[in-house]
């Protein structure tokens, strides 16, 4: 953890990690006997489900809950569905998890189902949403959102993470290939790529415009990329997609390239694991693998009260179980020893102003937090710029009173969203 330095006349600087030069091959984690897949749709017991426990599935088979479902997942193995269960996220939203019992031998690589692909984005969206790297095909294929710029992220967004950079170094040719495919499928003219300024990419491509991003956090967050490299100011409350910009991870581009070549889906996700001492391990694991299999492979021991963080230290989330499965968009897993977990407090804001100095979006956090604590979300958004927040987490990182500011803000946005949805519903 980066602590405050002794002299801090100016705000602290948090720097992104650079991938090690000439990185080693990742450790291949054997396919486990049980895999867990997450579907972004709650179970609805009143409806006739398409799948049930005991069904056999084939590697590459598309699985949906109901006939009308738009969300799907692809089975990474041949086997049987052994459980279908409800999964609760941070905000109390429900989704569904499927457990698949793997019946294929762990060593031989069964071929995945092949698909009948057409050269358009809808066809890609039909099968490839859950490829490693989670390509945003749903948005790209959508008729309502008009995307005119695609940004491939080779610069990892959060601190400590180096997965995207690793992929960039190792699979540069595949990225170029994938970019070509993306261009063909989407007909989007503008393709850009973010690369940390200190990273030398293996080559250039006349297809892609390179954005060299600063090493200082949060320069790789979408709103900052828009601001610094596209000279676009993201209006408060809007997403980059609203502005016609879609972000896709380097790994997703690589996966797409492979998928189009083989006409089948891939399932091996590359992850960076950061141990308690800060040691970095790189693993290649099948989507759905429980995390503890990976920890075992690196002899990482988890004790009571330790914390498993999925994603980076600033924007990630903590899981309550080491059975948490590898997911398509999971790039980094951090294990924090219980002794270094910083505590939060219930002290009110003391107006020290550190958050104001550090906030890249000029949000008046010190005032905002008072409104959020009082559940005044509309006021918070209208007068105190709740929606301008780009969710970098820096305010909470520096808060002298150790207020979980970032959580307050995310919750505030979520509640505001619900309120507004309710209002529109009432208006209609």
Partner 1 sequence: MTNNKLTVSHAPFWHDGDSLFKMNLNIMIATLPAVIFGIIQFGAPAVGVIALSLSSAMLWELILNVVSKQKISIGDLDAAVIGLVFGMMLPATSPWWLVITGTLVAVVIGKMIFGGIGANPFNPVLIGMAFLMLSWKIFFNFDAAYVNYEFNFTALAPLAALKSQGVSAVADLFPISDLIMGKQVGAIGSTFGLGLIVGGIYLILRGYIRWEIPVSFIVGIIVTALAFSMANPDTYAGPAIHLFSGYTLIGAFFLATENSSSPVNRLPMLIYGFCAAAMIILMRNIGAYADGTILAILLLNLVNPLIDKIRPKALGKGANNA
Binding residues for ligand SF4, per CB under 6 A?
349-355, 358-361, 363, 365-366, 369, 389-395, 398-401, 403, 405-406, 409
Residue 48 buriedness (CB in 10 A; 0-12 / 13-18 / 19+): exposed
The C-alpha atoms of residue 236 and residue 25 are separated, in whole angstroms, by: 42
Minimum distance from residue 350 beta carbon to ligand SF4 (Å): 5
227, 221 Cβ separation under 8 angstroms: no
Helical segments of 119-235, H only: 121-127, 137-141, 163-170, 172-186, 222-229
Of the candidate residues 178, 240, 393, 412, the single one contacting partner 1 (CB under 8 A): 393
H/E element, 317: strand 317-319
Rounded CA-CA distance 127/120 in Å is 12
Q: Is 344 in the site for partner 1 (CB under 8 A)?
A: yes
Q: Which does 369 bind (CB under 5 to 8 A by kind): ligand SF4, partner 1, none?
A: ligand SF4
- Of the pair 283, 396, the CB lying nearest ligand SF4 is at 396
- For residues 162 and 19, the answer to whether their CB atoms sit within 8 Å is yes
Say whether 320 sits in a helix, a strand or coil.
Answer: coil
Q: How far is the CB of 317 from ligand SF4 (least distance, A)?
A: 15
Q: How far apart are the first and last CA of the chain?
A: 50
Nearer to ligand SF4, 124 or 358 (CB): 358
Q: Which is nearer to ligand SF4, 270 or 314 (CB)?
A: 314
CA atoms within 13 A on the CB side of 234: 26
* Tokens standing for residue 113: 């189902």
Whether the CB-CB separation of 70 and 43 falls below 8 Å is answered with no
420 binds partner 1, rule: CB under 8 A: no
The span from the CA of 154 to the CA of 202, in Å, is 12
Q: Does 314 sit near partner 1 (CB under 8 A)?
A: yes
Does position 397 interact with partner 1 (CB under 8 A)? The reply is yes
402 binds partner 1 (CB under 8 A): yes
160, 295 Cβ separation under 8 angstroms:
no
Among 131, 134, 259, 390, contact with partner 1 (rule: CB under 8 A): 390
- 321 is in the binding site of which of ligand SF4, partner 1, none (Cβ under 5 to 8 A by kind)? partner 1
Q: Which of 138, 146, 184, 338 binds partner 1 (CB under 8 A)?
A: 338
The two tokens of residue 358 are 């550090």
Nearer to ligand SF4, 150 or 392 (CB): 392
135, 288, 313, 325: residue in contact with partner 1 (rule CB under 8 A): 313
Q: Which of 85, 348, 374, 375 binds partner 1 (CB under 8 A)?
A: 348
- String of contacts with partner 1 for each residue 273-292, x by CB under 8 A: -------------------x
């Amino acid at each position: 953890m980066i602590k405050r330095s002794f002299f801090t006349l100016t705000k602290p600087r948090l720097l992104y990690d650079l991938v090690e030069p000439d990185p080693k091959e990742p450790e291949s984690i054997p396919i486990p006997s049980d895999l867990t897949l997450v579907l972004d749709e709650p179970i609805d017991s009143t409806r006739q489900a398409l799948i049930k426990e005991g069904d056999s599935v084939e590697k590459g088979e598309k699985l949906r809950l109901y006939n009308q479902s738009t969300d799907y997942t692809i089975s990474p193995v041949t086997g049987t569905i052994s459980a279908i269960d409800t999964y609760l996220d941070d905000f109390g939203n429900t989704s569904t998890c499927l457990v698949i019992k793997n019946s294929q031998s762990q060593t031989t690589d069964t071929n995945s189902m092949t698909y009948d692909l057409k050269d358009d984005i809808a066809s890609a969206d039909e099968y490839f949403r859950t490829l490693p790297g989670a390509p945003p095909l749903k948005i790209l294929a959508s008729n309502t959102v008009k995307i005119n710029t695609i940004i491939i992220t080779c610069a990892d967004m959060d601190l400590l993470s180096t997965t995207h950079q690793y992929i960039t170094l190792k699979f540069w040719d595949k990225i170029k290939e994938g970019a070509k495919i993306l261009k063909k499928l989407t007909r989007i003219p503008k393709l850009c790529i973010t690369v940390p300024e200190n990273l030398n990419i293996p080559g250039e491509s006349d297809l892609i415009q390179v954005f060299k991003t600063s090493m200082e956090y949060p320069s790789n967050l979408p709103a900052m990329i828009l601001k610094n490299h596209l000279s676009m100011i993201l209006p408060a409350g809007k997403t980059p997609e609203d502005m016609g910009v879609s972000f896709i991870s380097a790994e997703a581009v690589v996966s797409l390239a492979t998928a189009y070549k083989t006409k089948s889906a891939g399932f091996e996700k590359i992850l960076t694991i950061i141990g308690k001492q800060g040691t970095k391990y790189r693993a290649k694991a099948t989507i759905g693998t429980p995390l503890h299999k990976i920890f075992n492979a690196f002899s990482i021991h988890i004790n009571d009260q330790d914390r498993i963080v999925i994603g980076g230290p600033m924007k990630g989330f903590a899981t309550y179980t080491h059975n948490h499965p590898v997911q398509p968009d999971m790039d980094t897993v951090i294990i924090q020893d219980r002794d270094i977990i910083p505590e939060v407090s219930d002290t009110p804001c003391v107006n020290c102003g550190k958050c104001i100095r550090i906030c890249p979006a000029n949000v008046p956090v010190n005032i905002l937090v008072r409104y959020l604590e009082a559940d005044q979300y509309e006021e918070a958004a209208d007068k105190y710029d709740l929606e301008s927040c780009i969710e970098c987490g820096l305010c909470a990182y520096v808060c002298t009173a150790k207020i979980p500011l970032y959580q307050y803000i995310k919750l505030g946005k979520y509640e505001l969203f619900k309120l507004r949805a309710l209002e529109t519903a009432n208006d209609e």
